[in-house]
A and B are shown apart, each in its own frame.
Chain A
Amino acid sequence: MFAEFLQYMLSGLTIGAIYALAGLGFSIIYNASHVINFAQGEFIMIGGMAAATLTASGVPLPLAILMGCGGAMIVGVLVAKFTVERARNASVVTLIIITIGASIFLRGVAELVWGKDFKRLEAFSGETPINILGASMQPQSLWVIGCAAVLIVAIGTFFNRTLTGKAMLATSHNRLAAQLVGINVKRVVLISFALSAALGAMGGAVVAPITFSYTEMGIMLGLKGFTAAVLGGLGNGPGAVAGGLIVGVAEALGAGYISSAYKDAVAFVIILLVLLFMPSGLFGKRGTERV
């Protein structure tokens, strides 16, 4: 009984860690530009595909992951430069639609470059399951959770300790004031896209041995990441992480104790409830509309 519960928790935390990374990506970009970037899932896909295809052609794994992150960062900056920046006077809804367009475009390009079939990436440290009190997990799950934790701490340090990070925080609080004190707001937006892209790509690479990588892997992960970000309160970094873990665990428990048919529904029921009853999320600040 307890072993069963533990198994659901472990499964939930693994997948939740990925949702958390995706959710964090949403939050960073939202903070800098008030855009909900639906191409976030595609950054995950780029990371996963690059790692799988490059290692298959002989590139050592760490280098392949770095190249994937680098590639995703370039794509992220291009998306920011050629879509979001150009349409900067458009309404937020228009910008969001633009990012959906960008995600469809990226998926199409990826299909041309990498093909439509599934790619396999070897697990980083073998596939012998680890047994914990009757439950079992793949060693790769530890990589996923560990990487997510390290990245989340790193991002936190970046925002609170470095000048660029502080500048980004300032922009998120008040764009005009930030501009007035000499922060290059345009650059902040570009950096935020590069940062979220790298986060996503890193997540994609560590999760690829579990999920396999294919050009459409980003769609569902992106949507779940969005759920995580909304649940935690859009723009709230730690909130997105908590949101991701909650969604992951809720899904696993739902599949285990209620019915596997409603697994995906769990995430979307959560987002509906959040939007209805606490639109600013679990940890978000109450939205105050300035008049």
Chain B
Amino acid sequence: MGKRLLNTVAAAATVLGAVTFGLAAGTATAAEPIKVGSFLSATGPASFLGEPEKRVMELYVDRINKAGGVDGRPVQLFLYDDGGAADKAASFTKRLIESDKVDVIVGGTTTAATMAAVPLVERGEVPFISLAGAVVIVDPVKKWVFKTPHTDRMAADKVMEDMKKRNLTKLALVSEDSGFGKSGREETLKAAKESGIEIVADETYGAKDTDVTAQLTKIKNNPNAQAVLVFGLGQGPAVVTKNYRQLGINLPLYQSHGVASKEYIRLAGGAAEGVRLPAAGLVVANQLPDSDPQKKVVTEFTKVYEDAFKSEVSTFAGHAYDGLMIALDAVKRAGGTDKAKLRDAIEQTKGYVGTGGVVNMTAKDHMGLGLDAFHMVEIKQGDWTLVK
């Protein structure tokens, strides 16, 4: 009697187990997660870039999953913090490819971190969308590597374009001795050569300098200079701006896209009046005309970000949003996460309207942004105004 009961129970358990197991297996195939890998500099010296990127990745993966995922599949995020160190970025990329087995990587806050990951993703054949600025990431084109942010070359070209409109042909350059400033300097020199603008002064300053009047005095006394361009990040450009006004230099002052945040205006105060710089649509979201294709995207993104984090949205946050959206959009078009098909789909991204601009990728252009992605803005009364 007792034995029979035991048998029955065992049989029942087996059946039950099989059913549960089968069900579990069934759900797994129906909704296998899309694995998105990411390594960002959420801490360390580049944290002002990486922190908002991390927030956006987590926020949007969460929102997408709550809305039912992509094609019914949830998105699973594997996110690591490289602390701004390129060697860590490389080892995290290795981990993402080999042990997490991600379908696509969206990350790489700095150019250094990105370039450390490039050989690994090329060998591992995983599509990689970088969030870093320098033009070397996509020039020359690498099969598996894409990027979302504007390049320093585009910023330089945009400034040259504006100078020509104002009939200015002689530029004095002041650049920061940081990675960003150095790369910006090189690209500006190249851009100037091609657009026929003469560089009449080439000064540098340290990223932590508190006074650049010495460099600016030289420019002030240079009879040829017709305009000044500053290439830097953080407080340096604000110091330059203040010293510039202190010395009473009357030439038009340009800054790079590196200072396209309200922080710059706040730091430089009244001295920032009249400064021009190329900026992404996201920065001037509320001033874009309704006819601008980006208007809807950037207004909505700004609202979501600022509601969620109670802090001002930055272009860097936008780069992460664009990266994630381009990747997931490609998953839809590729009909799955086969890496080769996914890569092709990313490369075929056409007319994607993001926070950085309208993206049209080709086999030769793995960024897909045109010069119209930048808007020339002028600071008036402590706020951005579009230059018509």
Binding site for B on A (CB under 8 A): 4, 7-8, 10-11, 14-15, 116-118, 120, 127, 129, 136-138, 207, 210-212, 214, 216-217, 219-220, 252-253, 255-256, 260-261, 263-264
A211 CB, nearest partner CB in chain B, Å = 4
CB-based contact B48/A8 at 8 Å: no
B240 CB, nearest partner CB in chain A, Å = 11
Which parts of B187-214 form the interface with A (CB within 8 Å)? 203-206, 208-214
Of A4, A15, A212, A220, the contact of B217 (CB 8 Å cutoff): A4
CB-based contact A260/B238 at 8 Å: no
Residues of A within 8 A of B234 (CB): 118
Residues of A within 8 A of B209 (CB): 263
- Cβ proximity bits B354-387 to A, threshold 8 Å, 1 near / 0 not: 0000000000000000000000000000000000
> Does B63 touch A at the CB level, under 8 Å?
no
A141 CB, nearest partner CB in chain B, Å = 9
> Does B29 touch A at the CB level, under 8 Å?
no
What is the interface of chain A mostly: helix, strand, loop, or mixed? helix
A220-B208 contact, Cβ under 8 Å, with A129-B245, A129-B246: yes
CB-based contact B270/A120 at 8 Å: no
CB-based contact B217/A137 at 8 Å: no
CB-based contact A211/B214 at 8 Å: no
CB-based contact A117/B263 at 8 Å: yes
CB-based contact B271/A211 at 8 Å: no
> Does B266 touch A at the CB level, under 8 Å?
yes
A256-B246 contact, Cβ under 8 Å, with A118-B234, A210-B211, A212-B238: no
What is the interface of chain B mostly: helix, strand, loop, or mixed? helix
9 pairs, CB–CB < 8 Å, chain A vs chain B: A4-B218, A117-B263, A118-B235, A118-B267, A219-B208, A252-B214, A253-B214, A260-B204, A263-B206
CB-based contact A212/B267 at 8 Å: yes
Which parts of B14-68 form the interface with A (CB within 8 Å)? 47-48
B213 nearest CB neighbor, chain A only: A11
A251 nearest CB neighbor, chain B only: B214
CB-based contact B246/A260 at 8 Å: no
Residues of B within 8 A of A217 (CB): 208
CB-based contact A7/B269 at 8 Å: no
Residues of B within 8 A of A219 (CB): 208
A33 CB, nearest partner CB in chain B, Å = 29
A268 CB, nearest partner CB in chain B, Å = 12
B67 CB, nearest partner CB in chain A, Å = 33
A127-B214 contact, Cβ under 8 Å, with A212-B235, A263-B206: no
Residues of A within 8 A of B205 (CB): 260, 263
A271 CB, nearest partner CB in chain B, Å = 17
CB-based contact B48/A212 at 8 Å: no
Interchain CA distance A116-B212 in the complex, whole Å: 23
Binding site for A on B (CB under 8 A): 47-48, 177, 203-206, 208-215, 217-218, 221, 234-235, 238-239, 242, 245-248, 263, 266-267, 269-271
Of A11, A129, A137, A220, the contact of B214 (CB 8 Å cutoff): A11
Of B47, B238, B247, B266, the contact of A129 (CB 8 Å cutoff): B247
A263 nearest CB neighbor, chain B only: B206
CB-based contact A256/B218 at 8 Å: yes
Interchain CA distance A256-B266 in the complex, whole Å: 29
CB-based contact A120/B246 at 8 Å: no
B96 CB, nearest partner CB in chain A, Å = 27
Residues of A within 8 A of B177 (CB): 261
Residues of B within 8 A of A264 (CB): 206
A7-B210 contact, Cβ under 8 Å, with A116-B47, A127-B270, A127-B271: no
Interchain CA distance A117-B122 in the complex, whole Å: 36
Interchain CA distance A8-B213 in the complex, whole Å: 8
CB-based contact A260/B210 at 8 Å: no
Interchain CA distance A210-B210 in the complex, whole Å: 7
Residues of B within 8 A of A212 (CB): 235, 238-239, 267
A17 CB, nearest partner CB in chain B, Å = 12
CB-based contact A256/B210 at 8 Å: no
B270 nearest CB neighbor, chain A only: A127
Interchain CA distance A207-B210 in the complex, whole Å: 9
Interchain CA distance A256-B263 in the complex, whole Å: 29
Residues of A within 8 A of B245 (CB): 127, 129
B47 nearest CB neighbor, chain A only: A116
Interchain CA distance A261-B203 in the complex, whole Å: 8
CB-based contact A255/B214 at 8 Å: yes
A283 CB, nearest partner CB in chain B, Å = 26
A211 nearest CB neighbor, chain B only: B210
Interchain CA distance A199-B234 in the complex, whole Å: 28
A256-B211 contact, Cβ under 8 Å, with A120-B266, A214-B235: no
Residues of B within 8 A of A129 (CB): 245-248
A269 CB, nearest partner CB in chain B, Å = 15
CB-based contact B211/A14 at 8 Å: yes
A136-B246 contact, Cβ under 8 Å, with A118-B234, A127-B271, A212-B267: yes
Residues of B within 8 A of A263 (CB): 205-206, 209, 214
CB-based contact B221/A4 at 8 Å: yes
Residues of B within 8 A of A116 (CB): 47-48
Question: Interface centre among A4, A10, A260, by most B CB within 10 Å?
Answer: A260
B206 nearest CB neighbor, chain A only: A264
B216 nearest CB neighbor, chain A only: A7
Interchain CA distance A221-B91 in the complex, whole Å: 35
A260 CB, nearest partner CB in chain B, Å = 5
Interchain CA distance A137-B247 in the complex, whole Å: 8
Question: Interface centre among B235, B269, B271, by most A CB within 10 Å?
Answer: B235
Residues of A within 8 A of B246 (CB): 127, 129, 136-138
B275 CB, nearest partner CB in chain A, Å = 16
Residues of A within 8 A of B270 (CB): 127
